[in-house]
Amino acid sequence: MSCIKVNNLSKSYGSIKAVDDIGLSVKSGHVFGFLGPNGAGKSTTIKLLTTLISPSSGSLSILGIDAIKNPLDVRHKIGVVLQQPSYEPTLTVEKALDKYGMMWNVPKSERKKRMNHLLEDFDLAEIRKKRNEDLSIGQRRRVQVAREFMHDMDLLFLDEPTAGLDPSARRKLLDYLKNKVKTGLTIFYTTHILTEAEYLCDEIAIINKGKIIAVDSPSALKTRFGKEKTIKIHLFEKQSQVSSLLSEISDCKIDFENGTNLTIHSEQSELILLQVLKILNDNNIEIEDLSAVPTNLEDIFLKMVK
Ligand SMILES: Nc1ncnc2c1ncn2[C@@H]1O[C@H](COP(=O)(O)OP(=O)(O)OP(=O)(O)O)[C@@H](O)[C@H]1O
Ligand SMILES: [Mg+2]
């Protein structure tokens, strides 16, 4: 079942088409990754899906509810962590969590239970008595994400939740989210960090200039767009003639650096490699090191949004 269904959705700001005629379908129980460069339209899409702004045109169904006709019904069932920081400076961490639970009408005993769990899960126990304004940026972000879990929801929107988190806090959050998904939560997740999307998401959409340019699973994206492999060769010593020797090889791009490093980019890098090795061998050029770099999502992403 789809819990987000979007057709021909657009949002313009004057002449800027921030979101340009997109369609989306997100399955319940999935993590849907939304990737794109700065200004691509990710946050605008999240604001549209969470009914914080209304579209210029298009239709939008969230958890089976027409989100344009009944935005408040949608808001009662979802969680949202926006990109920009949001906190009350003078509240302590525990008060901030408790107050958020109160806003969602969570009973006092349940609030206490949840708060204690979240303080542990988000490594906030030691700073529970600190005021928001005295926290580091990463700590504040963790509080902002943690408080969303004070209430129950079926669908959670996260706009770059790991921005400002250190690698271990980031991994901890991703694992926390993975566990929540196992219990039935659906997550719409934007990020710039491709390894993060690969780790967490069942499906990934890439958006560029307001348009969705690809949607697939991380592994299918790699198969579809990741045929090109990169092979790196490090020569034993500087060889200035190497670029002219290799210039006759076609169907590939070879970068030269310092006369000792070669990088081969090609969809048939293995075949190209054989030709390169033969030429190097014929000219008595010694290789010190050779490595193949598998295609990663980052390469695909950079290629697609170019
Ligand atoms: N309130 C607004 N008024 C005018 N233009 C806006 C407004 N909000 C967004 N935009 C424009 O819409 C485009 C998409 O912005 P959006 O914030 O959705 O990008 P994003 O993909 O979230 O980028 P980032 O990775 O930097 O967060 C940008 O060109 C931005 O300048
Ligand atoms: Mg954004």
For 58-82, the DSSP string reads EEEEETTEETTT-HHHHHTTEEEE-
Domains in the chain and their CATH numbers?
2-224 (3.40.50.300), 227-305 (3.30.70.100)
Q: How far apart are CA 178 and CA 201, in angstroms?
A: 9
Q: What is the pLDDT of residue 263?
A: 86
Pocket test for ligand 1, best of 42, 190, 211 (most atoms within 8 A of CB): 42
Q: How remote is the C-alpha of 60 from its chain's centroid? A: 22
| Residue bearing the CA closest to ligand 1, atom 29 | 39
> Residue ranges of the alpha helices (H) in 82-161?
93-103, 108-121, 137-146
- Decide: 161 in ligand 1 pocket, CB within 6 A: no
Tokens coding 93: 């961490």
| Residue bearing the CA closest to ligand 1, atom 27 | 38
| Ligand 2 geometric centre to CA of 47 (Å) | 10
Amino acid identity for residue 156 in this structure: L
Place of tokens 């920081």: 85
- Decide: 214 in ligand 1 pocket, CB within 6 A: no
The phi and psi torsions of 101 (rounded to 5 degrees) equal -60, -40
Spatial contact of 8 and 211, defined as CB atoms under 8 Å apart: no
Quickly count: other Cβ atoms within 10 Å of residue 22's Cβ: 21
| Residue bearing the CA closest to ligand 1, atom 30 | 39
Spatial contact of 26 and 4, defined as CB atoms under 8 Å apart: yes
164 Cβ contact partners less than 8 Å away, ≥ 6 residues apart: 137, 138, 140, 141
Q: What is the pLDDT of residue 228?
A: 66
Beta bridge partners of 234: 261, 289
Beta bridge partners of 89: none
Cα distances from 97 to residues 70, 76, 135, 141, 149, in angstroms, run 28, 18, 15, 13, 9
- Vertex 301: Cα angle to 297 and 302 (nearest 5): 120
Sign for the pseudo-dihedral over CA of 278, 283, 284, 289: negative
Burial class of residue 282 (count of CB atoms within 10 Å of its CB; 0-12, 13-18, 19+): exposed
| Residue bearing the CA closest to ligand 1, atom 1 | 13
Q: What is the pLDDT of residue 295?
A: 64
Instruction: Please report, in tens digits, the pLDDT of each residue of the chain (306 residues total).
Output: 789 999 999 999 999 999 999 999 999 999 999 998 889 999 999 999 999 999 999 999 999 999 999 999 999 999 999 999 988 999 999 999 999 999 999 999 999 999 999 999 999 999 999 999 999 999 999 999 999 999 999 999 999 999 999 999 999 999 999 999 999 999 999 988 878 888 999 999 989 899 998 899 988 877 766 666 778 889 888 888 888 888 888 877 888 888 888 888 777 767 788 888 888 888 988 888 888 776 666 777 777 776
The ligand that comes nearest to the alpha carbon of residue 53 is: 1
Q: How far apart are CA 306 and CA 118, in angstroms?
A: 41
pTM, full prediction: 0.83
Cα distances from 201 to residues 112, 160, 193, 194, 234, in angstroms, run 31, 14, 12, 10, 36
Q: What is the pLDDT of residue 271?
A: 77
| Ligand 1 geometric centre to CA of 98 (Å) | 32
Place of tokens 């090609």: 266
Place of tokens 């699973």: 217
